[in-house]
Amino acid sequence: MTARLIRIRRKEKEGRAQNYLKLKIRSRHMLGKTITMIICMLNILFNLATALSDSNSLSPDFKFEHHDNRELIHVLKQVAERCPDITRVYQLAEKSILGWPLSVIEISDKPGIHEPLEPEFKYVGNMHGNEVLGRELLLALANYLCWQYRKGNEEIQTLVNNTRIHILPSMNPDGWQISTDQKGGKDWLIGRSNANGVDLNRDFPDLNEVLYSEEQLPLHQTHHYFLGSQMIDHKLQPETRAVMMWILNNPFVLSANLHGGALVANYPYDESPSGKTQEYTATPDDQTFKHLAHAYASAHKTMSGKQHINCGGDDFTHKGGITNGAAWYSVAGGMQDFNYLGSNDFEITLELGCNKYPSEERLPKEWDINSKALLNFMWQAHIGIKGTVRETGTGRPLQNAVIKVHNITDGKDFPINHDVTSVRGGEYWRLLTPGTYRVTAMKAGFQPQSQEVTVTNIPHQEAQRVDFTLAKEPVYTESENSLEENNKPDIPNLSLSRLLAYMRSQERS
């Protein structure tokens, strides 16, 4: 073979190799483009499926928009008409200053009826009139619960069948109107207060002040500090009075108050005892309240996320999206603390985002961000224990029995110095985190009874049932030198509030 022929064949081989290499590179490039296109298509399909899923979660006729006060009532009535077997629309006892009803929708398998041992739950929105996201989310939530119940969503059916849910989308319809009319919802303060210019979240009786003063006494009240009109030192607004009556006349177990302007789940106490503007002030149920706040924040898509979200200098994402109220800033006369100190209800405050009045275009996204958290928080009404307190022998239900709890987990033994009381029917509910507890039921004139309980809190199941039967105290005769013989009260049988009154009367005498 000649040298010339060898050179020609070598060039042919090199040419084929180069062509092969070019083809390989081109193929890899095309493969990369193909893979990119497939990924894009999958993302589109995923987003489409998510959008379809989100749109199907609500009824087809529901529209995300800023509903005015008349439209708000119409939406609630629409839900009630669609689901008459599980809903009821009612109004609180008083209207707003400008005459708007404070409309509530109840969602339960037996609306209008308190079922034995079924916990009662409430959401309150739009307490500050210019903080409107909660108002719209609660309208969507009512629609969602109705629609999903009808469609056979088993989780929603279980929740509704075992919880009596009350939703008040707007506590301050006048403030909403003022905010919307004057600045289109763009002003940070206009519309925050009611039509009288009063901040409703500073208008409740300051039960913290009573608590902090009585804590100095050797024996002090540990529950239900609201004892009547003597606890009120100012003229209450009609919206405040209406909500107070609502709280005191219903056996609420758990609730949340929806606000805006920050992104955090805020838990009691809201007011510091020292008067400092920022001071961590724990309730006796601090562990449980942290759990409740975390239940919302962890199910929320951004509240406890990795991306920092700063609202005017406040960023709680690095803290798991939760904060103690007084550690953030101290508030006197707030609704959150009134619930805890004036009733059996555990309430937290949900700050839903930096923008108090988001655009209508933003509302579907906010529903997507908050919907799972709204549902998860409602399930927390079923943590801890529940049961009845009855009289031994007769089975008669005992109302106003005191339920005391000691945490004895891992050999500890310390009291949780906040009691709940049994309601009409002898029922009680006690929210607790997992652990071992000594629970005592007691009532004036009856012998107390204690039980040791291990709480597990299985998700989406009813609370453990722990019942008590109390035997009457022996009645002493005159020959046994009873206290009645000397016309003195039987101090051990007095309720704590009466005992305190007795002690004070003795000090004055």
The answer to whether the CB of 370 falls within 8 A of the CB of 450 is no
- CA-closest candidate to residue 237, choices 209, 190, 205, 270: 205
List Cβ neighbours of 491 (8 Å cut-off, separation of 6 or more).
483, 499, 502
Q: Which residues pair with 107 in a beta bridge?
A: 87, 165
Per DSSP, the three-state class of 347 is: strand
Amino acid making up residue 78 = Q
- CA-closest candidate to residue 485, choices 497, 477, 474: 477
- Order of strands across the sheet with 164-168? 87-91, 103-107, 164-168, 120-125, 252-259, 346-353, 262-267, 322-324
Angle at 142 between CA 460 and CA 266, to 5 degrees: 65
Compute the distance between CA of residue 420 and CA of residue 408 in angstroms, rounded to an integer: 18
In the residue annotation, 71 being an active-site residue is answered as no
> Does the bond joining 267 to the residue before it have cis omega, within 30 degrees of 0?
no
Buried b (16+ CB within 10 A) or exposed e, 205-243: bbbbbbbbeeeeeeeebbbbbbeeeeeeeeebbbbbbbb
Q: Which two three-digit tokens encode residue 142?
A: 């009512």
Which stretch of DSSP H or E encloses residue 453? strand 449-455
Compute the distance between CA of residue 44 and CA of residue 336 in angstroms, rounded to an integer: 43
Choosing from 351, 366, 427, 462, which is the catalytic residue?
A: 351
Which stretch of DSSP H or E encloses residue 266? strand 262-267
Residues with a known catalytic role: 351
